[in-house]
Structure 1
Amino acid sequence: MLSLLSRLERAADSGGTVTFVSGDTSIAVPWSQLHDEARASAAALQHRGIGPGRHVAILAPTTRALVTAIQATWLAGATIVVLPLPMRLASIEEFIAQTRERVRRADTDLLLIDPDLAPYLESRPGDPPSLVLTELIEVGTRLGAGAYQRPADDLDALAILQFTSGSTSEPKGVMLPQRVLGANLDACIEAGQLQDDDVFVSWLPLYHDMGLVGMLSIPMTTGRDLVLGAPQDFLGSPARWMRWISDHRGTVTAGPNFSWVLATRALRRATDLDLSSLRIALNGAEPVDPRTVEAFVEAGAPFGLRPGAIFPAFGMAELAIGGTFPEPMRGLRTDAVDRRVLESERYAAPAEPAAEGTREFALLGRPLPGLEIRIADPDSGRPLAEREVGELEIRGTSVTPGYYRNPEATAAMFRDGWLRTGDLGYLVGGELVLCGRIKDVIIIGGRNIFPEDVERAVAEIDGVRAGNVIAFGVEGAKGKEQMVVVAESRADDPDGLRRLVHHRAMEVVGAPPHDIVLVTPGTLPKTSSGKLQRSLCRAKYLSRELQPVH
């Protein structure tokens, strides 16, 4: 297996480019040029004592400087810790506190920071030294790439310390040695049948595993073309994503389910696009909603989008990124099951897709090369048969050795050599189907209610902000669990909206919410990658921190 440094050096000779896009502007930079700039910045890092075994935390928006700093850190032989940016400006104090905590937990030796963010993190006693990104580049320019000293190859060296999103617990530092990262990159390339002339298009944040590993590291280490925008550019105008694909003849792109909802809305208003080049449109990082996929395919058809390009997949930080992939160009395939049997017996009994009481799940493909998956009983660890619902467990070459300096969490993560994902799912013909998170399941009357079902249904109601609904369970009278639904809304008639939410929940899962709380937009807690934090929302509800709309 090639080392990370050897991969970067080989990619520099590929003739490929990275194109930085922002709004309507774009700047194409050959990977060879960025590599030279990164070697100079690596020399600047080495000048400050950064080398193998050192940890470099980076806090910056998606820019050429950030990408250069990531490669420079690797070239110096050090570990990167890409820190999340704040989701909402109103949470700046919480963002600063969380950033300091991650910097501390990562045993950071040097903090590289964007000049615009530097004033928010003034140095305190005990903090690691910091350096503004522009200064790193200036020092590197003075030293030159010739001053760079290449460290020895080391497949066991820690390449990435990737903090989990914290959607169900406190963020933990996932260790990704070069050996694990390389195995997953190679597996993704093989399973995705990636081609030398592929053009990646991404706006995903580089502090998230899908953006950092899936959409940046693959082209950066292979020399494939990459068109890279920033999350704020996409969120400010989702149509830009589709425009970048059209203008640059993108073949590979990716996003979580909510982003495809935004893209669909943009396509319905768009003109003069050509999406016929798209070969892999990966939907992952959060539950895949078949209705979202079908709506995107319909909206993209007038622009040449091929239905086979849809690519529902599974991945997680503990695997670097890729876990299971479908066959390329087969499109969306679903499994229809009886909802009542699923909830009461934890068995995915086949059902007619259009029948009442049917639930459809996306098939997420088979494990990547080097990985094995199984479904096991969450309590006993007993392997389950096909269509029996249990916990997804994984083992193989792409699995992390554990969480950084957290032996208790590491021990809890593994059982008999298998990584416990915390995801509920089942297998059909060797393919993975996911139902939800074990910690999030609401048990009412002996039935397993999946909060995603309620959240998606409520989000379709006029007056509720799509993607901003959380359902969770709380202990009620006599110790029985009850369901609470919290939704963001600007409704003029809150009481009427609560009645609609009540009826919709009854229609979908046959269980009434114990309480329905409407809150103002921007209230629901989310992770740095935009995932809903059900556990934190539940805690805020129980402590009466949520301020309802009256």
Structure 2
Amino acid sequence: MQRQAAEYAEKTPFVSLINGETEGDSLSFRQLDRDAKKFAVLLQQHAKSGDRVLLLYPPGLTYIVAFFGTLYAGCVPVPLYPPRHNRYLYRVLAVATDAQASLALADSKLIPKIRTQFNSVDGLKQLTLLDFDADIDRVSPSDWREPNIGGESLAFLQYTSGSTAAPKGVMVSHRNLMHNSALIQQLVHSTPEDNTVSWLPPYHDMGLIGGILQPVYCGGCTYLMSPVDFVSKPIRWLRAISRYQTRTTSAPNFAFDLCVEKTTPEQRASLDFNHWEIATVGAEPVRADTMERFLRTFEPYGLRANVFRPVYGLAEATLFVAGNAEPVPPTVATVQRTALTAGKVVPVEPESGDGQPVVGCGFSAREQEIAIVDPKTGTRCAPNQVGEIWVSGPGVTQGYWNKPELTAETFQARLTDAPGKTFLRTGDLGFLQNGELFIAGRIKDLIIIQGRNHYPQDIELTVERAHPALQSGGGAAFSVEIDGRERLVVVQEVRRTELRKIDPDAVIETIRRAIAEVHEIQPYAVVLVKPTVVPKTSSGKVQRFVCRRQFVDGTLKTVAEWSQRQVADTGDEPHARSRPRSHVESALMEIWRDVLGVDTVGIDDDFFRQGGDSLSAMQILSRIGDAFGVELDVSDLFRLTTIEKQARHIESALQSASPAEPIVIEPVSRRQPLRTAFSQERMWFIQQLQPDNSAYNIVIPVRLTGKLDVNALEWALHQVIQRHESLRTIIEAVDGVSYQVVLPQITLTPKQIDLRHLPADERESAALKLASEHAAGPFVLNKSPLLRALVVQLADELHFVQITVHHSVFDAWST
């Protein structure tokens, strides 16, 4: 960075594009070097070299300054999405805990919201949260102290998108980055005169290294637009490529599909792609038909037949592993599908009924070795066999932060014929043909949809918690290829006692909504099965691959099944009451039809039942902003799930734009009968059927260090209960109808248990057992109180406190 600042001082490496179209702020190399040093001066006042620092900035120039400033300070940046909603906080908490982060940095505009969010989560309250916006102009870059770092020093931690329960921070060194940047430069022949246009999120390897660090390494320029601006209007990316005469770009496979599907001939008319030489495509399986459609669509505008460069890489190898530097069309091999499933490579003619096209991802990069290995024996596979892809070379990173066993298993594999060399096990399956790498699938159960990683165990946990009738540990989540795209399928067992009681459609709807809200994807199919149907090993581990094969073969014994194909096949006309009643509803109906690709939709049809996901949500929100001038967030779509609700919200927003009389909310007397809310009524009804059900217990565990005054704790709990009448509420029934009863006062006495008489190494497990029992005990909804407290003393100044509350009076969500 300092070398580029000296050589290209006034050259501009970064230009922001407002709304993906209009040029906004920019940074020269000299400005970036100066601002990064000033940022480092401030950071060095709060952290020491080697400290991990969370970066919670939105995409843009401030993020770039913060990233380089953290490097200049000798600290280790940990890039993360700023938490938009409460559910993202647990991802931040998991990463902060795993990385042992000392502090978090954020944009000054986001600080108040993030601080409020942090204060609501035990484990984030104590994390120091800073912004340097107000102070950065009060320091001088001459005060910067250059840190003592070398090639093996840790540059940043790359937390791969995926499991919240067990996040893995890839340790990327400065040597890894320099080597990988040199490989990418050789691949695309980049020069200081080049520019690129990037919308890729800068929190992951492809966007951070390819879109931000690579232009600095080469001395080029990147025009930056936000991911939302691209997804909502893909034509913005294409117009920028055309306008700035871009030679090279990068994007995942789905982006090129989106450009074909969401642009019109009228929008394409002004495009000029005669200068566009290289489009690297990776981050998810590369589809031959995607490249064909894109070429066919944009060839009239000067796009070259050899523009595509499929590549293979992963964060554990910094980014780039294989690609083709030669300007030739991609290699597409057609192999027998059934043989490939069995691990063999059998070439067939493209028109073969059992043929499957597989795209070549180029050749191993310089100083790196790719081996196709039988993972059970550690021996190289024969040329016609599929095996696990192993990689060795300077690009392989140092391992997973603070996970020595997993690092040894993943990064220190050895071939039987080369015991002196260590390899990275990628978990991907592939084969080599004439030295070129072809990807055939995955050993690991990772699900990649729209370029994002999803761990099946996270989705399975979301599903089993979605409804009390579902069997714990009885689910399987996996992906299948539908129409050339990877789609999610969930198979879930129903408790035996609930098989005759449940409404299958309602349960499936609950599952689909839970997946959409938590993971922001929409399943292609949800299948309910009887207990023991989901295949497992003798040790009880779910066999997702076997379950997937049964789903594809149609051999699963189902209780009920829903799929998007069924919806597409039935496609009923909306009934009379579903038709639009206002111009706003009519306009929204047209937007939904266009974005979701459906012929018919009613005003009370659910967005998620129509196949909506986070990608289509961003497109709809952008169209709503253009049509009505009303700004909505993706989170709003989880409330406003129908056209009717969206129209009501938009009409209200338009009316409130002019002054109006304030609405006065009158309190309701607590002496009159208070009907339960719908969700409370549902919980009450379930308890009548299952009195011992504890599925709606909410548990709040806290570990306290220092002297604890239990009497003061009891007094504090009493004050909270008196302040919030919901905590003094019980549910009673009159003639089969449930009502809320707010009690004037209740008494909560914490249960106290002292474990100091046990040996020190036994106290932790004993406390966990007590906590589990405390959490599992059912509540009787008409008996006060509907919460309880447990205090376990582990040492003189160490206590474990747990509050268990029934969900009917507490949601752990509202702020």
Q: TM-score, normalised by structure 1?
A: 0.80
Distance 2:78 2:318 in 1: 13
Distance 1:51 1:276, change over 3 A: farther
Q: 1:256 aligns with which of 237, 248, 252?
A: 252
What residue number does 2:158 align with?
Answer: 162
Q: Which amino acid aligns with 1:161?
A: L
Equivalences, count: 482
Residue number in structure 2 paired with 1:237: 233
Higher relative contact order (CA 8 A, sep 6+): 1
Asked if 1:426 is matched to 2:431, the reply is yes
Q: Which residue of 2 aligns with 1:531?
A: none
Q: Which residue of 2 aligns with 1:71?
A: 68
Q: Is it true that 1:190 corresponds to 2:186 in the alignment?
A: yes
Name the structure 2 match of 1:347: 344
Q: Give the aligned partner of residue 512 of structure 1.
A: none
Within 2, Cα distance between the matches of 1:169 and 1:69?
27
Conserved 8 A contact 1:309-1:328: no
Residue by residue, what CA displacement relative to the aligned partner does 1:173-211 show, whole Å, maximum 9, x if unpaired?
000011111111111112332223211210000001100
Which one of 51, 56, 61 corresponds to residue 53 of structure 2?
Answer: 56
1:329 aligns with 2:327: yes
Match of 1:209 in 2: 205
Once the two structures are superposed, the pairs formed by residues 119-158 of structure 1 within 5 Å of their partners are: 119-122=113-116, 123-124=118-119, 127-132=126-131, 136-158=132-154
Q: Give 1:386 deviation, angstroms.
A: 1.6
**Equivalent residue for 2:547, pick from 482, 491, 502:** 482
CA separation of 1:415/1:245 partners in 2, compared to 1, >3 Å: closer, same or farther?
same
Q: Distance in 2 between matches of 1:338 and 1:353?
A: 10
The offset of 1:298, in angstroms, is 1.2
How far apart are the structure 2 equivalents of 1:116 and 1:144?
A: 24
1:254-304, Cα deviation, whole Å (9 max, x unpaired): 111111111122444322011222222111000001101111111111221
Q: Distance in 2 between matches of 1:112 and 1:224?
A: 28
Cα 1:457–1:111 shift into 2, 3 Å: closer
Equivalent positions of 1:443-522 (< 5 A) are 451-454=479-482, 456=484, 476=533, 481-483=546-548, 484=551, 489=564, 493=567, 496=570, 521=611
1:110 Cα deviation (Å)? 2.2
- The answer to whether the 8 A contact 1:488-1:524 is kept is no
Tell me whether 1:103 sits opposite 2:96 in the alignment. Answer: yes
Write the distance in 1 (CA, Å) between the matches of 2:201 and 2:446: 29
Q: CA deviation at 1:37?
A: 1.8
Q: Which secondary structure does the structure 1 equivalent of 2:275 belong to?
A: coil
By how many angstroms is 1:441 displaced?
9.9
Aligned to 1:534: none
SS state of the match for residue 194, structure 1? Answer: coil
Q: What is the CA–CA distance in structure 2 between the aligned matches of 1:60 and 1:205, rounded to whole Å?
A: 11
Change (3 A) 1:260 1:458: closer
Name the CA distance, whole Å, in 2 between partners of 1:317 and 1:471: 30
CA deviations 1:19-73 (Å, max 9, x no partner) are: 1112231134322222222222222212x23342122211121121111111111
Q: 1:68 to 1:488 in 2, by over 3 A?
A: farther
* Cα shift at 1:395: 0.6
Given the superposition, is the C-alpha separation of residues 7 and 520 from structure 1 closer, same or farther in structure 2, using an over 3 Å criterion? farther
SS in 1 for 2:239: helix
State whether residues 183 and 365 of structure 2, in contact with CA within 8 Å, keep that contact through their aligned partners in structure 1.
yes
Q: 1:219 to 1:371 in 2, by over 3 A?
A: same
d(CA) in 2 for partners of 1:289, 1:320: 23
| Paired letter, 1:108 | A
The amino acid that maps onto 1:316 is L
**Equivalent position amino acid for 1:188 in 2:** I
Q: Which moved more, 1:212-221 or 1:167-176?
A: 167-176
2:379 partner SS? coil
Task: Name the counterpart of 2:461.
Answer: none
CA distance in 2 between counterparts of 1:265 and 1:186 reads 35
Which of 291, 302, 305 aligns to 1:304? It is 302
Task: Find the aligned partners of 2:108 and 2:60 in 1 and give their Cα distance.
Answer: 12
The one-letter code matched in structure 1 to 2:390 is: E
- Cα deviation 1:190-233 (Å, max 9, x = unaligned): 23322232112100000011000111101123321111111111
Superposed, 1:377-392 pairs within 5 Å as 377-392=374-389
Q: Specify the alignment match of 1:415 in structure 2.
A: 413
Tell me if the contact between 1:157 and 1:177 (Cα under 8 Å) persists in the aligned partners: yes
Alignment partners' CA distance in 1, 2:67 and 2:535: 54
Shift of 1:469: 5.2
What is the CA-CA distance between 1:324 and the residue it aligns to? 0.5
Structure 2 contact 249–278 (Cα < 8 Å) conserved = yes
Unpaired runs of at least 5, structure 2: 415-421, 448-477, 488-515, 537-542, 553-560, 572-607, 616-694, 696-815
Tell me if the contact between 1:16 and 1:30 (Cα under 8 Å) persists in the aligned partners: yes
> In structure 2, what is the Cα distance between the partners aligned to 1:73 and 1:11?
22
Distance 1:366 1:105 in 2: 35
Q: How far apart, CA to CA, are the structure 1 residues paired with 2:439 and 2:61? A: 37
Q: Once structures 1 and 2 are overlaid, which stretch shifts more, 371-380 or 320-329?
A: 320-329
Q: What is the CA distance between 1:137 and its match in structure 2?
A: 3.1
Residue 392 of structure 1 deviates from its aligned partner by 0.3
Q: Deviations over 1:390-446 (max 9, x none)?
A: 10000100001110001121122031111100001100111110011113499xxxx
State the match for 2:105 in structure 1. Answer: 112
**Following the alignment from structure 2 to structure 1, what is the Cα–Cα distance between the partners of residues 163 and 306?**
31
- Aligned-partner residue type, residue 107 of structure 1: Q
> In 2 relative to 1, CA 266–157 (structure 1 residues): closer, same or farther, beyond 3 Å?
same
- The verdict on how the C-alpha distance between 1:188 and 1:121 changes in structure 2, with shifts beyond 3 A counting, is same
> TM-score, with normalisation over the residues of structure 2?
0.55
Greater Rg by CA: 2
Post-superposition shift, 1:11? 6.4
Question: Structure 1 residues 169, 111: closer, same or farther in 2, change over 3 A?
Answer: closer
CA displacement at 1:251 relative to structure 2: 1.4
Contact kept, 8 Å, 2:191 with 2:219, in 1: the verdict is no
Which of 361, 365, 369 matches 1:368? 365
Q: 2:196 aligns with which of 192, 197, 200?
A: 200
Residue aligned with 1:120, SS: helix
- Relative distance call for 1:74 and 1:272 in structure 2 (3 A) is same
Worse-superposed segment, 363-372 or 475-484: 475-484
Tell which deviates more after alignment, 158-167 or 263-272. Answer: 263-272
Query: Counterparts of 1:312 and 1:49 in 2: how far apart (Å)?
Result: 43
Structure 1: any 5+ residue segments left out of the alignment? 443-449, 460-464, 498-517, 526-543, 545-550
User: CA 1:452 to 1:278, structure 2 compared with 1: closer, same or farther past 3 Å?
Assistant: farther
Q: Could you tell me which residue of structure 1 aligns to residue 396 of structure 2?
A: 399
Do the aligned partners of 1:451 and 1:471 also contact (CA within 8 Å) in 2? no
